[in-house]
């Protein structure tokens, strides 16, 4: 394998794709290329935001968007790219950012999904097989979890507390669906054909978007 690295190649890719760091096929060397690209471009590359258009009312100030997939829940179904697809696509670029200014309620959901992808990777790095990975992901997805307003919710600064117990339950039901659907997709993406963790994803397990973790400080 040729491990040579051409900066011209990187900058050409940047000009064509606005440094879409998620497209890693062209990077075929062993050290982490995303960190290098981020260091080169951090002063002129903004974090990616969702382009999804919200069609239904928010819960609190968190966007509730339609989702594709077969996971049961309150979200309307679509067939095209959804906010989970976007969060996965932009994760490898956005995870390096320590700040993010949401432009709308959909962006707040985008923050949550990005942080949940981090949690999925931490689970999958220990997977011995696809079945083992799914069992662990499923358990993590459905276990009791904090929502905006809870003292243990690490991103309360971005969210409003639900105005009623009914709204809180609606938020929890929707986030549960988001967690499960994201987990389903990460299982396919972050494990290789043999059911083993992919190095192209596991190299991001130590990174924290916004310096935060849904598991709380220190995790």
- What are the pLDDT digits (tens) for 41-81? 444 578 999 999 998 999 999 999 999 999 999 999 999 99
Regarding whether 71 and 13 lie in a shared domain, the answer is no
Q: Decide if 67 is inside a domain.
A: yes
Mean pLDDT across the stretch 14-42? 44
Domain that holds residue 39: 1-45
Q: What is the pLDDT of residue 45?
A: 73
Residue 31 clears pLDDT 70, i.e. is over it: no
C-alpha 97/C-alpha 142 separation (Å) is 28
74, 177 contact by CB (below 8 A): yes
Q: What is the DSSP letter of 52?
A: P
Q: Decide if 131 is inside a domain.
A: yes
Task: Tell whether the torsion through CA atoms of 43, 198, 212 and 85 is positive or negative.
Answer: positive
Regarding whether 67 and 6 lie in a shared domain, the answer is no
Mean pLDDT across the stretch 30-36? 49
52, 162 contact by CB (below 8 A): no
Q: Residue 203: pLDDT band by 50, 70, 90 thresholds?
A: very high
- Rounded to 5 degrees, φ, ψ at 138 are -60, -45
C-alpha 41/C-alpha 153 separation (Å) is 31
Q: What is the pLDDT of residue 134?
A: 97
Mean pLDDT of the chain, nearest integer: 84
Regarding whether 59 and 39 lie in a shared domain, the answer is no
Regarding whether 91 and 138 lie in a shared domain, the answer is yes
pLDDT digits (tens, 9 = 90+) for 84-141: 999 999 999 999 999 999 999 999 999 999 999 999 999 999 999 999 999 999 999 9
């Amino acid at each position: 394998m040729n491990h040579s690295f051409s900066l011209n190649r990187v900058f050409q890719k940047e000009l064509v794709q606005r440094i879409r760091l998620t497209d890693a096929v062209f990077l075929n060397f062993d050290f982490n290329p995303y960190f290098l690209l981020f260091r080169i471009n951090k002063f002129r590359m903004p974090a990616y935001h969702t382009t999804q258009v919200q069609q239904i009312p928010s819960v609190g100030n968190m966007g509730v968007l339609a989702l594709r997939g077969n996971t049961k829940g309150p979200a309307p179904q679509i067939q095209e790219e959804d906010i989970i697809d976007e969060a996965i696509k932009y994760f490898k670029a956005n995870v390096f950012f320590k700040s993010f200014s949401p432009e709308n309620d959909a962006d707040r959901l985008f923050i949550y999904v990005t942080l949940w992808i981090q949690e999925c990777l931490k689970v999958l790095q220990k997977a011995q097989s696809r079945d083992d990975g799914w069992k662990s992901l499923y358990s993590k997805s459905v276990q009791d979890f904090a929502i905006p307003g809870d003292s243990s919710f690490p991103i309360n600064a971005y969210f409003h507390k639900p105005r009623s117990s009914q709204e809180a339950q609606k938020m929890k039901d929707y986030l549960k669906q988001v967690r499960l659907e994201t987990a389903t997709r990460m299982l396919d993406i972050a494990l290789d054909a043999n059911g083993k963790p992919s190095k192209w994803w596991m190299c991001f397990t130590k990174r924290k978007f916004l310096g935060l973790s849904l598991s709380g400080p220190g995790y």
